[in-house]
């Protein structure tokens, strides 16, 4: 087999592979229609349903049971609920924990209030007592009711303190020496950037992995399954020409998928969520959050994704060429898919930022760099180190893929079934042949 490299032949194979894959409707759907239509539709619909369900839970009736009726406390609850326009229902009964759980499960109870023994006498005698709230955090309505009741009980506590201050004729500053004012100095754009910095790097890298998955299988295992790989190897082109031609096709489709996904996600976040504001009462949420991605960030993300796309394309082709058909390729490629999808989740972890150590780890370095770029908190030197490291790993992956494609033992695998230990058996076979 000829292993010489010829750029002209490589480009001819690249054009042939690219043209063939673009004819495939499945490839076009996964790369174009899915990002443009499905992702925004799912994102906006999910967000809208979340907003509406949250509003539905909050507007539903809050059913409360108190172990006994104590007038001043019950009246305080009613005043608070009426002031906050909370739809409520208060009943009185002494219940056990199992009964409370049963009622909450049947949606007949939201939360239970248990006044301590001699609560009334201790309050009247200006002694300390306690109120116990029982709820179920696994139940949405009970969780919301818990927040409402905590605020209502605190309001009753403040009323008692104000009454004692007035009765004892003492200064309020002795009890309330200072107030706490919470002021959020972050702008809506900063809050939106913080959210995007956690989500966007992970989503883009995951979509890039999926973008390289099917093209890599199509130019390797599917060629074997269709029986066209042998015909291609008979052409006056070397194994490296064929390998690099196929690699360029997979790489270009991966970068095209990244571009489409990046534009689709950017438009979804910057414009799509405002549709929810128009069709629901979620304006309060969107008044404190503003999603925006600058054109510079989009271009920078696309450029820094180039070496990662190269690594993904080379590694996936190298693994997929061992398979003899599509099903077998999926079995081999699934672990590789997970390896590329798990590291980007580091963007969700608080406190992690790009440093020199993390800049040496592929995929992780890009995730943290994109996170810093969206937050406008990164160093040019670390960005260059990240790009150089990923370029180096991409070259290593290309060399490894070229070595795999140059082996006839891989390209012409035996027809019998081979178990998952094939990679080990392949190495053993290669060593034995060299010894022979």
In the chain, what is the straight-line distance between the N-terminal and C-terminal CA atoms, in Å? 20
Mean pLDDT of 363-382: 90
Q: From CA 414, how far away is CA 344, in angstroms rounded?
A: 37
Whether the model pTM is above 0.75: no
Residue ranges covered by each domain of the chain: 7-40+187-435, 62-175
160-178 tens-digit pLDDT: 888 888 888 888 787 778 8
What's residue 4's pLDDT?
Answer: 63
Instruction: Please give, one letter per residue, the 3-state secondary structure of 31-76.
Output: HHHHHHHHHHHHHHHHHHHHHHHHHHHHHCCEEEEECCCCHHHHHH
Q: How confident is the model at residue 421 (pLDDT cuts 50, 70, 90)?
A: very low
What's residue 194's pLDDT?
Answer: 85
Render the burial of 181-207: b for 16+ CB within 10 Å, e for the rest.
Answer: eeeeeeeeeeebbeebbbebbbbbbbb
Neighbours of 118 (CB within 10 A): 11
Most confident of 15-29, 46-60, 145-159, 262-276: 145-159
Number of H helices and E strands in the chain, helices first, is 20, 4
What's residue 206's pLDDT?
Answer: 86
pLDDT at 27 over 80: no
What's residue 416's pLDDT?
Answer: 45
What's residue 94's pLDDT?
Answer: 92
Most confident of 11-15, 35-39, 43-47: 11-15
Mean pLDDT of the chain: 81
pLDDT at 378 over 60: yes
Contacts 24+ apart (CB under 8 A), 428-435: 433/409
Mean pLDDT check: name the lowest of 14-28, 119-133, 372-386. 14-28
* Biggest CA-to-CA distance, the chain: 104
- Report the CATH fold assignment for 62-175: D-Maltodextrin-Binding Protein; domain 2 (3.40.190)
Q: How confident is the model at residue 285 (pLDDT cuts 50, 70, 90)?
A: low
CA distances from 134 to 89, 115, 292 (A): 16, 11, 42
Q: From CA 72, how far away is CA 226, in angstroms rounded?
A: 82
**DSSP letter for each residue of 357-391:** TGGGSTTHHHHHHHHHHHTT---HHHHHHHHHHHH
Beta carbons of 272 and 169 less than 8 angstroms apart: no
Q: From CA 418, how far away is CA 421, in angstroms rounded?
A: 8
CA distances from 227 to 222, 242, 380, 427 (A): 8, 15, 49, 25
Which residues contact residue 76 at a Cβ distance below 8 angstroms, ignoring those fewer than 6 apart? 152, 155, 156, 159
Which of 205, 215, 159, 168 lies closest to 365 in space, CA to CA? 205
List residues bridging with 111 in a β-sheet: 64
List residues bridging with 113 in a β-sheet: 66, 133
pLDDT at 392 over 90: yes
Q: From CA 308, how far away is CA 297, in angstroms rounded?
A: 17
Query: Which of residues 260 and 57 earns the better pLDDT score?
Result: 260
What's residue 418's pLDDT?
Answer: 46
pLDDT at 46 over 60: yes
Mean pLDDT of 202-231: 82
Q: How confident is the model at residue 417 (pLDDT cuts 50, 70, 90)?
A: very low
Q: From CA 128, how far away is CA 134, in angstroms rounded?
A: 20
Coil, strand or helix: which one is 91? strand
Q: How many percent of the chain have pLDDT more than 90?
A: 24
pLDDT at 252 over 50: yes
**DSSP letter for each residue of 108-167:** S-SEEEEEPTTHHHHHHTT----EEEE--TTSHHHHHHHHHHHHHHHHHHHHHHHHHHHH
Q: How confident is the model at residue 374 (pLDDT cuts 50, 70, 90)?
A: confident
What's residue 136's pLDDT?
Answer: 92
Mean pLDDT of 76-104: 91
What's residue 402's pLDDT?
Answer: 82
What's residue 409's pLDDT?
Answer: 67
């Amino acid at each position: 087999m000829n292993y010489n490299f010829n750029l002209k032949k490589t480009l001819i194979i690249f054009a042939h592979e690219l043209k063939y894959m673009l004819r495939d409707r499945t490839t076009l759907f996964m790369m174009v229609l899915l990002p443009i239509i499905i992702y925004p539709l799912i994102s906006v619909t999910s967000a809208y349903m979340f907003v509406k369900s949250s509003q539905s839970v909050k507007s539903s009736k809050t059913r409360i049971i108190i172990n006994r009726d104590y007038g001043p406390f019950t009246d305080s609850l009613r005043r608070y609920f009426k002031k906050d326009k909370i739809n409520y229902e208060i009943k009185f009964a002494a219940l056990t924990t199992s009964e409370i759980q049963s009622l909450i499960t049947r949606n007949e109870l939201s939360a239970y209030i248990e006044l301590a023994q001699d609560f009334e006498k201790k309050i009247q005698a200006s002694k300390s007592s306690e109120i116990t709230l029982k709820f179920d955090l696994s139940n949405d309505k009970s969780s919301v009711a818990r927040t409402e009741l905590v605020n209502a009980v605190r309001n009753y506590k403040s009323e008692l303190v104000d009454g004692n201050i007035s009765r004892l004729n003492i200064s309020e500053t002795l009890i309330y020496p200072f107030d706490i004012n919470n002021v959020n100095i972050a702008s809506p754009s900063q809050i939106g950037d913080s959210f995007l910095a956690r989500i966007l790097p992970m989503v883009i890298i995951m979509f890039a992995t999926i973008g390289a998955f099917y093209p890599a299988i199509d130019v390797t295992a599917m060629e074997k399954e269709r029986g066209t790989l042998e015909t291609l190897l008979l052409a006056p082109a070397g194994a490296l020409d064929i390998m690099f031609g196929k690699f360029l096709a997979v790489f270009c489709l991966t970068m095209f998928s990244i571009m489409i996904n990046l534009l689709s996600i950017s438009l979804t976040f910057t414009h799509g969520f405002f549709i929810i504001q128009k069709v629901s009462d979620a304006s309060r949420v969107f008044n404190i959050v503003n999603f925006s991605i600058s054109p510079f960030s989009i271009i920078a993300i696309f450029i820094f994704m180039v070496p990662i796309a190269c690594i993904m394309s080379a590694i996936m082709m190298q693994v997929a060429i061992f398979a003899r058909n599509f099903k077998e390729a999926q079995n081999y490629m699934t672990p590789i898919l997970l390896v590329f999808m798990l590291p980007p989740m580091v963007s969700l972890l608080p406190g992690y930022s790009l440093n020199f150590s993390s800049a040496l780890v592929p995929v992780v370095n890009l995730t943290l760099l994109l996170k810093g770029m969206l937050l406008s908190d990164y160093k040019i030197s670390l960005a260059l180190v990240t790009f150089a490291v990923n370029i180096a790993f991409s070259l290593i992956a290309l060399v490894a893929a070229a070595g795999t494609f140059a082996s006839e033992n891989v390209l012409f695998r035996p027809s019998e079934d081979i178990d998952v230990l094939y990679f080990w058996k392949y190495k053993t076979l290669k060593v034995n042949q060299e010894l022979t």
